[in-house]
């Protein structure tokens, strides 16, 4: 399993995933961090970027933070 260090930018006009360095991602999402909507959007975008199903991804740290560690 690989760990990805993710920085989340909320309330962005474009959804995107940018890679910087090995295992580091910047994810831009539309949603605000309310009721887990931004986390769900982050997992969806990262799963598409990594071409893995969402069921294989898990936020292991930073559930309420803009910086997260996602295990894939």
Spell out a b/e string for 2-36, using b for 16 or more CB atoms within 10 Å of the CB, else e: eebbbbbebeeeeeebeeeeeeebebbbebebeee
pTM confidence score: 0.92
Section 38-60 average pLDDT: 95
**Amino acid 1: pLDDT:** 84
4-36 per-position pLDDT tens digit? 999 999 999 999 999 998 999 999 999 998 999
Select 3-71's CATH number: 3.60.70.12, 3.40.50.1110, 3.30.1200.10, 3.30.420.10. 3.30.1200.10
Residues 29/38, Cβ–Cβ less than 8 Å:
yes
pLDDT band at 49 (very low <50, low <70, confident <90, very high): very high
**10 Å Cβ neighbour count for 56?**
11
Whether residue 66 has pLDDT greater than 90: yes
Question: Mapping DSSP to helix (H, G, I), strand (E, B) and coil, where does residue 4 land?
Answer: strand
């Amino acid at each position: 399993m690989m760990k990805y260090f993710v920085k989340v930018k909320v309330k962005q006009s474009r959804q995107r995933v940018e890679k910087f360095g090995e295992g580091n991602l910047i994810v831009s999402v539309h949603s605000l961090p309310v009721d887990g909507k931004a986390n769900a959007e982050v997992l969806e975008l990262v799963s598409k970027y990594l071409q893995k199903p969402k069921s294989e991804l898990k936020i292991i740290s930073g559930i309420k933070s803009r910086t997260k560690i996602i295990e894939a």
